[in-house]
Amino acid sequence: MSGAPTLIGLPYDASSSFLRGSAGAPPLIRAAIHSPAANGWAHGLRDVLGEGGLTDAGDLALPPAPEARALIEAGVAAVIGGGGRPIALGGDHSVTYPAVRGVSRSIAPLTILHIDAHADLYDVFDGDRHSHACPFARIMEEGLAVRLVQVGIRTMNRHQRGQADRFGVEVIDMAAWLAGTRPRTSGKVYLSIDLDGLDPAFAPGVSHQEPGGLATREVLSLIQELGGGLVGADVVEYNPDRDVGGMTATVAAKIVKEIAGRMMAEAG
């Protein structure tokens, strides 16, 4: 599978509940990726920051309004049209819906692997069908993915359980994870990582800290052991206003580099 891993910043948080701040994340994740304190190599001896590695399409100019969704969809589609594989830097999790739309214009069928504390399957949240609590309901009802596998969930309620059953979502909550259940994916895979899927001990810089989550090492292993071909990804919900010493930016940067390294390995 060809295509250079390509960053695209999605500085949008107008669909957030509780707190905003994630619109400020993309430049800080970039700074951590290129920090002289960090190493640019990923698993498998892949020089992510060297020749043939990560490229950057910059940040989209996104208004805090519904019009942002069409801009995100077009921006992600343009990365693919230019021969890249998008790694989107959010932004709140609502950006995943238009990003997946952009990918699905030319790549199908899609399997989505979703790492998160929350299922984000609400039909409507606080009166908003495009809240960051709703993207996977929109994705599945439009048929943008043939399969959705969720890992790390630990906030499931009755409404979202009903939605998961309605859409045939495979939910590996933390109890199942601890019992040894692991995702098995194949085909064309889109990876969506909400940083609050990690335990806040590893990634405190998120708006919705939810104890009892995944360790950084576990997330990196999921990326490295992923079945199928990784056609696109997003890393979302980093809120710099909640971070501690840049810890979460550093974790996000490490995750991005491993995603890029995986894409490089697939490209040969």
The identity of residue 260, as a single letter, is A
| pLDDT (tens digit per residue) in 205-217 | 999 999 999 999 9
Tell me the helix, strand and coil percentages in the chain, rounded to 5.
35, 25, 40
| pLDDT (tens digit per residue) in 67-94 | 999 999 999 999 999 999 999 999 999 9
Q: Looking at the DSSP assignment, which residues form a beta bridge with residue 115?
A: 151, 193
In the predicted model, what is the mean pLDDT of the chain? 97
Residue 1 has pLDDT above 70, yes or no: no
Find the mean pLDDT for residues 191-198.
98
Contact (CB, 8 A) for 134 and 128: yes
Residue 132 has pLDDT above 60, yes or no: yes
Q: With pLDDT > 70 as the criterion, what percentage of the chain qualifies? A: 99
CATH architecture of 4-267: 3-Layer(aba) Sandwich (3.40)
Helix (H, G, I), strand (E, B) or coil at 25: helix
Task: Please classify residue 97 by burial: count the beta carbons closer than 10 Å to its beta carbon, then call 0-12 exposed, 13-18 middle and 19+ buried.
Answer: buried
Residue 118 — very low, low, confident or very high, per pLDDT cuts 50/70/90?
Answer: very high
Contact (CB, 8 A) for 94 and 139: no
For the chain, what are the domain ranges?
A: 4-267
Q: Measured between alpha carbons, how far is 66 from 16 in angstroms, rounded to an integer?
A: 13
Task: Please classify residue 140 by burial: count the beta carbons closer than 10 Å to its beta carbon, then call 0-12 exposed, 13-18 middle and 19+ buried.
Answer: buried
- pTM of the predicted structure, to 2 decimals: 0.97
| pLDDT (tens digit per residue) in 149-191 | 999 999 999 999 999 999 999 999 999 999 999 999 999 999 9
